[in-house]
Every structure is written in C-alpha cells, then in structure tokens.
Amino acid sequence: MHPFDSLILAAGKGVRMKSNLPKVLHPVLGKPMVQYVIETVRRVGSAHSHVIIGFGKDQMRQALSTQGVGFIEQNEQLGTGHAVQCFAREHPTPPEHLLVVCGDTPLLSEETLRTMIEQHFSLRPAATMMTLDMQEPGGYGRILRNQQGNVQEIREAKDCSEVEKRIREVNLAIYLFEGKALYDRLFSLKNENRQKEYYLTDVIGMMTRDGLPVIAVKERDEASTLGINSRLDLNRVAGILRQRIIEKHLSEGVSILDPATTWIEPDVTIGSETVIYPNTILTGKTVIDSGCRIGPQVRVTGAHLNTGVTAEFAVIEHVTVAPHTRVKPFSHLGTEQAHSEARE
C-alpha cells in the first residue's frame, strides 16, 4: 500500500445551520457527519489523518478525541488554501502524498476514492482530483480543460464568465497531491478574487502552468457528493444514508416489514432471518443475532441480542440478552439485573 496522509477541512461554523454547534459535528444517524469522512479515509489507507478546526475548536477536540486524528487550528477562515497552509506550517516537511477532503460530505464514495488513489499512484501526476458532470452546476467550481482535454485549472463559480458557467464538469474539492509539488506552490497563493480568500483550487492552475500533469477521476453518483450546509441538507443526506442501510440489511437476509418507520444506525449489525417490525429504533453498536423478532415499538441501544430473542414494546440499552429470551412487553432493560427480570 502506498503511504499518504489525509487532511479533512472542518473549520467552518456553518452559518445556515443556525446553531452554536460546529457544522461538521451535527449528527447524521447518530454520528457526527465528519466521523463518516474520517472512517472513509482510514478505510482507503490514510496513514495519518488530520482535521482542520476553527469555530468551536474545543468542542471538536472533545467530540473527536477517540478518533485517532491530529488537529490543526485555522483561527481565521481565509479559504481552503489558507487551511492547507495552516497544516503546512505545523508540518513543514511535506508528506509524500496528501489527500484533502471536506468534512461535510458523509456520503463520500469509498469506491470512487479508491479508484482515485489507484490512478494517482499508477500515473504519478502532481495531483489527482475528483470531478462530476452535474446537470445543474450552480455554485460549484468549473473544470477548465485545454484543447487536448487535459485539466488546465479550476474556476470558482463566483469568478466564472457566462461561458464558463455553462460548463457541467465541476470540482468536488477532493484532491490527492504529491506533497512536494503542493508545498512548492502553496505559499504563492493570492487572494485576488471576489471572496478575498486563498483558494486551494489555484494550486491546480499553478501546477499545469508549470507543466506538471493533473488528472481527474469522475464520480458517477451525484448523491455521494452531497455536502451539508443547512438542516434541510442534513435531512436529505440522512434519508439517503438511511435508505442505503435498510437496503443493505434486506440484501443480507433481514426482513424489515416497514422501512418507512424503521430507524437503523450505521454501526448496527443484524443476523439473517431476523424480522424487524414497524416503529423499531436500533442505535449505537447494537448487535442482533440471527432468528430474532424485534418490534413493534422497540428501541435497542448498544445491546447484544443473541439468537432467537423476541421483544416488543420495550427499551433495551447496553445489555446482553441470552439466546431465545422473550423480553416482556413494556420492559426497560438497562442493566444486567433488569435482564434477569425480563425473562419468562
């Protein structure tokens, strides 16, 4: 496996969330949205992961203290280029390769990210980036290509001409840089744009003007690229993730009688031949073995239900329930002692 580090941009407040909680800490199905990104980059091989923090930095450190990441402070949010400069000041020796992603994209495709990494280490460009052909590009930066079809630069939407705004291929702000090539140009960034910010995208143009190759890998699933900027976005992304989780369990032999009223968080494990009845909520690191009957009206949090357990109209939290136990209706199992009282 080729070594690379990752940098997750997560310093913003998220004004449209209308919250004192940093945007990336808002939960999606029980986990902070940034945690999904951390887990994804780790699965694709990130040796060291770092998170850029700014607004609510103490909350960020506390919330992510168990995730094994480093923290880089960006006390003034002066753009994505400035965020990476903050990393470079803390780590003056460039990593061999640096993956840069945004912390507000919990649906980030592991498959496409792996393809991007494979292409980068196979072709050895100065940078590999992820793009998407979007029907309505809106505020996304456009990919400008030369006559040979090679990536030439990225133009932020606010700085695009009317002709450039008609380009459908957009930048997804996911990059894998060769470390030295990035560092050689990072502190030459200018903020001569409408936002008066230091754009990381400008590094791409610097590289191509210097004759260095930049390649793009296209994402095919637009849903996986959705960023979260508002509570409406949060609900939309949670709905997509919730549906994916339901479909995964159905494909693995779990019967879910009413998906519309069933809530299953991503760290839940369910064995085959288990039946989930309506109005069931499964959260945390819950494990349900095969052949169980759960619901209706059951909430299970961080518990282990062994083979053949049945439960209805009950709350089960952080306990282990023995095989073939019938949990009495209206029980609240919260301790091992309560567990013994639930048997019939």
The pair of three-digit structure tokens given for residue 297, joined into one six-digit string: 């009206």
Whole-angstrom Cα distance, residue 221 to residue 202? 26
What pLDDT is attached to residue 335? Answer: 62
Say how many C-beta atoms besides its own lie within 10 A of residue 80's C-beta: 24
| Residue predicted with more confidence, 298 or 335 | 298
Residue 97 has pLDDT above 80, yes or no: yes
Answer for the pair 208, 214: CB distance below 8 angstroms, yes or no.
Answer: yes
Residue 344 has pLDDT above 60, yes or no: no
Report the percent of the chain where pLDDT is more than 70. 97
Residues 83, 87, 91: CA angle, nearest 5 degrees: 165
Least confident range from 24-28, 94-98, 161-165: namely 161-165
Residues 30, 74, 3: CA angle, nearest 5 degrees: 75
Q: Is 333 left (phi over 0), alpha (psi -120 to 50) or beta?
A: beta
Q: What is the mean pLDDT of residues 86-102?
A: 98
Measured in degrees and rounded to the nearest 5, phi and psi for residue 28 equal: -120, 110
What pLDDT is attached to residue 2? Answer: 82
**DSSP H or E stretch at residue 115:** helix 110-123
Residue 213 has pLDDT above 90, yes or no: yes
Whole-angstrom Cα distance, residue 35 to residue 21? 15
User: pLDDT confidence of 337, banded at 50, 70, 90?
Assistant: very low
User: pLDDT confidence of 280, banded at 50, 70, 90?
Assistant: very high
Residue 70 has pLDDT above 80, yes or no: yes
User: pLDDT confidence of 61, banded at 50, 70, 90?
Assistant: very high
pLDDT tens track for 300-315: 999 999 999 999 999 9
pLDDT tens track for 114-149: 999 999 999 999 999 999 999 889 889 999 999 888
Q: pTM for the whole thing?
A: 0.92
From 16, 89, 124, 209, the catalytic residue: 16
Least confident range from 164-173, 289-298, 335-344: namely 335-344
Mean pLDDT of the chain: 94
What pLDDT is attached to residue 341? Answer: 47
Domains (ranges, CATH) in the chain?
5-225 (3.90.550.10), 253-342 (2.160.10.10)
SS3 259: helix
User: pLDDT confidence of 1, banded at 50, 70, 90?
Assistant: low
Query: Is 293 considered catalytic here?
Result: no
